[in-house]
Amino acid sequence: MSKIDAIDCQILELLQLNGRITVKELSEKLGLSPTPIFERTKKLEKAGIIDHYAAVINGDKLGKKLYAFAHISLKDHSKELVDIFTSQITKLPQVMECHYTTGDTDFILKILLDDMEMYRDFVLTKLFEMKNIGKIETYLSLSVLKKSNFIPIS
């Protein structure tokens, strides 16, 4: 892990709240001149702490209303077959997150789709086509109570 100080932490927190904030605005909020803010931001980018900048889209406004959490158990756990599964699953745009887990299930997928019919089609045409899946157990979200990409820094 790269060493960051309190100012770096403040920069990261402000950028998480508003990825479009300018260097000038950051410098005003932190009481530093723009040059060191620019240099610190570039250092955080180069270190990979700032991975990328992106717009946060409201899926609800686009009709994406169904969050499904699919618990996937594989039939065979050989490295080769696990790698094939992860390669296939990470290419599906409907899968927002894929977690390789411990416990009774091997993977937990966070999937976002328009409705239940689309989820059914997704399972039939995408998941069931993957030969190594032994079991799929799905949990549907009734409502989203908290949604955040904010990572606490300090």
pLDDT tens digits, the chain, 154 residues: what are they? 578 999 999 999 999 999 999 999 999 999 999 999 999 999 999 999 999 999 999 999 999 999 999 999 999 999 999 999 999 999 999 999 999 999 999 999 999 999 999 999 999 999 999 999 999 999 999 999 999 999 998 7
CA distance readout (Å), 83 to 70, 79, 90: 18, 6, 11
In the structure encoding, which two tokens stand for residue 114, read together?
């328009």
pTM for this prediction: 0.88
CATH 3.30.1490.190 correct for 6-46:
no
pLDDT of residue 16: 96
Domains 6-46 and 59-140 alike in fold: no
Spatial CB neighbours of 45, under 8 Å, sequence gap ≥ 6: none
pLDDT of residue 154: 74
What are the boundaries of each domain within the chain?
6-46, 59-140
pLDDT of residue 74: 98
- Estimate the share of the chain in helix, then strand, then coil, as percent rounded to the nearest 5: 40, 20, 40
DSSP 98-124: EEE-SSS-SEEEEEEESSHHHHHHHII
pLDDT of residue 1: 56
Spatial CB neighbours of 41, under 8 Å, sequence gap ≥ 6: 11, 15, 23, 26, 50
CATH topology of domain 59-140: Alpha-Beta Plaits (3.30.70)
Q: How many residues are there in the chain?
A: 154
